[in-house]
Each structure stands twice: as structure tokens, then as C-alpha cells.
Amino acid sequence: MSESAAHVVPLRTYVLILTILMALTATTIWVAFQDYGPLNNVIALTIAVTKMTLVILFFMHVRYATRLTWLVVVAGVVWLIFLIGILMSDYFSRGWLGVPGK
Amino acid sequence: MSSVHGPAGHGGAAHPPLAHHFETLEQQRQSTSLGMWVFLVTEIMFFGGLFAVYVVYRNMFHEAFDVASHHLNVRLGGINTAVLIASSFTMAMAVRGAQMGKRGATAAFLVLTMLLGFTFLGIKAVEYRHKFEERLFPGPGFQFQTHATADLAAGGGRGGGSHHAPSGVSPHTEVVDPRHARIFFSIYFAMTGLHALHMVVGAGLLAWLLKPTLAGRFGPAYHDPVECVGLYWHFVDIVWIFLFPLLYLIGRH
């Protein structure tokens, strides 16, 4: 049953991912104390999304998973973007028309 | 282990872990992790609703959130982030051990992951106690002393009924309403509390894995339970990866 054995990720890869995740954590803390104006949020979220992607791809083995798993994972993230994106489009545009009782 | 619909090549008799409705262990493993991912998508939407609440209120009460965030301890939060990332690494190593059939290493990494999980919860408990002592828990005794740049009296607010307006007023002139800071702490306790609850469940799952691991049930062909608990643990780690900057690191500059 050799063909049924799961893909074993090399130890080096895991250690590398751990190191990058720790470095990104230190970076996000450091950046938070600098003043980049509205860019602070963008940088913090970019780092968080990068960390999430690394965890999903390597620790959670999605890089080595079937296409169906890829589809489910991506669909989950896309639906989350729908949830927050459409909600915010409502909240941001509410004041535009001056409708009473907004 | 009689199979009614399994075609030739069915490995049920040779491999007891193979359920009768799967043809091969590989198919079983892929189905198991796919099922786990479907569950995790429901968890994404579950936490996603709370993140949406956060996004809406942070945009409404931007200044209050920045000021309230200063009451969280970046040092403890940062240490906890590192602890959780380390636990994700040990969890990945436990799964790796199970994949290679190393029962001793797997068990050791499972215990290590659990210990890091308890370290996280311990630090979280210390943080919660501080918040209760500072009367920042959004209960009846909630008290918020604003130390905004304007340093205006607490409770000033922006006057009747207009608190639903997005914060378009220029910062520094805005008064931080304690009620808005209270919303921040409600979200803080709801999200970190729910996250901590997931950690407790995760620790229980890790303990549940120990017995079959030590009994040598897991190896290259079958290690699905370890893989699934790993996926769950990493998911909980990802939730914290977002909670940390969004709750602790806003408005620090």
C-alpha cells in the first residue's frame, strides 16, 4: 500500500515555516508602533494573511492536498470576503442618499 | 466487514481501520480531511460573523477602539502569539510522527502541544484577571477612564442619538465615549473567550489521541484522527493570528 501513504513534509520545511511565522509576528508588533497612517492597517492585515496562508499551505498540508480540498478551502475564504465585503458596502454607502431613518 | 457495494480490490479485511464505504485507505484519508475542511469552513463563517461585527464597530467608533486597545497588554498578547505558533509547529510534528508511525515522538509532541495550549490559556487567564481588576469587563461594574489626546471628561459623548454616524469627524477633537470603548471590550471578551473555548476543546482532543497513539494505532496508512485534530488546532491558531493585531495592535503609534 505504498501509494496510499500520505505525503510527509520534510522537517526542514516545518522549521522554516516556524521561523518565518515567528519573524512575521515580531515584524507586525514592530510595525504597529511606527506611524504609517492608514498603511498600518494594511501592513498588519497583509502580514496576518501571509501567516494564515503559510499555516494553511504547509502545516495544514493543503499544498499537498487534492484539488477538491483546494476548492473547499478557497470557497470558505471567498464566502468570508462576501460576508464582510457586502456588509461593509452597506455600512459605507448608507449615508450617501440622505434617506430619513438611516 | 462484509461489503455489498465494494468492487474487487477492497482492502477491508486486510486493513481494519478502513471503513466499509471506502475502497482504499487513500480515498478514506482524502474524504476524512475534506470532511474536516468542510467543518472548518463552517467555523470560518462562525468566527467570520464576529470579525464582521468588529469591522463594523471599529469603523463606527474608530477613536474609541484605538484608545480602548491601549488597555490590552501587547507583551502578554505577543508572548501568547509566539506560544500558539510554537504549538502549531509541535502539532505539525505530531502529525508527521503519526504519518511515519513513530509512536513515542507522536505522543511527546501531542503532550508538548497540549502544554503550550495550557500555557496560552494560563496567560489568557492572567490577562482576563487584570481586565476584571481594571473594571474593563463589560458588565455592571464597567468603568472606562479615557486618556485620549483631548483628555475630555468621560461620558461627554457626541450628544443625543448621533452615535450611529460614522466617525467622519477629524480625530483629536473627538471625545471617546465609554460606551463605545465598552463595545470594544464586549468584542474582545466574546472573541478571545470563544477562541479560548476552542483551545480547551483542542486540548481535550489531544488527550483523546494519546491512548491510540501509544497503542500504535497510527502509521503511514492510517493516521486520520491525528491529521483532523491537527487541522482543527491550526485553524484555532489562524483565528488568533488575526485576533492579535486587530485587538492588541491598533492605535499603538
d(CA B59, CA B55): 6
pLDDT at site A35: 92
pLDDT at site B169: 42
Q: Do B92 and A58 touch (CB under 8 A)?
A: yes
d(CA B54, CA B62): 11
Provide the sign of the torsion angle of the four alpha carbons B1, B2, B4, B9, taken in this order: positive
Per-residue HEC secondary structure of A17-67 comes to HHHHHHHHHHHHHHHHCCCCCCHHHHHHHHHHHHHHHHHHHHHCCHHHCCH
- The class (CATH top level) of B38-248 is mainly alpha
What is the rounded end-to-end Cα distance, in angstroms, of chain B?
Answer: 64
pTM for the model stands at: 0.85
pLDDT at site B252: 83
**B46 has pLDDT over 50:** yes
Residue pLDDT, tens place only, B90-104: 999 999 999 999 999
Is B37 within 8 Å of chain A by CB? yes
Q: Which three cell numbers stand for residue B202?
A: 483542542
Q: Do A52 and B34 touch (CB under 8 A)?
A: no
Residue pLDDT, tens place only, B198-224: 999 999 999 999 999 999 999 998 999
ipTM attached to this prediction: 0.90
Which of the residues B116, B238, B248 would you substitute to probe the A interface, choosing the one with the greatest number of A C-beta atoms within 10 Å? B238
> How does DSSP assign B70-135, residue by residue?
TTS-HHHHHHHHHHHHHHHHHHHHHHHHHHTT-HHHHHHHHHHHHHHHHHHHHHHHHHHHHHHHTT
pLDDT at site A102: 53
d(CA B121, CA B37): 25
Is B49 within 8 Å of chain A by CB? yes
CB B40 within 8 A of CB B149: no
pLDDT at site A100: 67
Please list every residue in chain A whose beta carbon sits closer than 8 Å to the beta carbon of residue B25: 1, 4
Please list every residue in chain A whose beta carbon sits closer than 8 Å to the beta carbon of residue B99: 5-6, 8
If pLDDT is split at 50, 70 and 90, which confidence band does A4 have?
A: low
How many angstroms separate the CA of residue A61 from the nearest CA in chain B?
9
If pLDDT is split at 50, 70 and 90, which confidence band does B176 have?
A: confident
Residue pLDDT, tens place only, B19-35: 889 999 989 999 999 99
